[in-house]
Amino acid sequence: MATAELDLTQRPPAKTLRKRSLYRDAARRFLRNRLSIVGLVIVVVLLIVAIFADDWFVAPLLGREPQPLIAHYGYDEAFIGPTGGFPSADFWMGTDLNGRDEWSRIVYGARISLSIAIFSQLLALCIGLPMGALAGW
């Protein structure tokens, strides 16, 4: 009867598994979902449009009033002429019944909405953090 010898002194190196962090796993799941990517793109575009509606970040350095960048006109500028106009090269989304540019009003409205959202989150943090710390103590 033949016997096979087994050498136990040398083992093949064990394969080490890469440990995935919670954040890497969450990012991988987020990036695989196409709908989440579409939502992220929409939010980023909204942020860029709201932040760069006018040059409020450069105008004080140059000693002048902010000038519109993305919004062609100020949010309260009214124009004399046909009201309730259709979209054109001058007014991308048309005008309302008072002759104001709809695109400019949407852009400035996005800025106001985002500032309210940031303020409410900071307020919730200022209230919730001490309450949570007190409850945990």
Side chain identity at residue 62, one-letter code: L
Global confidence as pTM: 0.64
pLDDT at 30: 95
Across the chain, mean pLDDT equals 84
State pLDDT tens for residues 9-22.
677 777 777 788 89
Domain boundaries, the chain: 31-110
Residue 67 contacts by C-beta under 8 Å, 6 or more apart in sequence?
54, 55, 59
Residues 87-93 have a mean pLDDT of: 83
The whole-angstrom separation of Cα 37 and Cα 25 is: 16
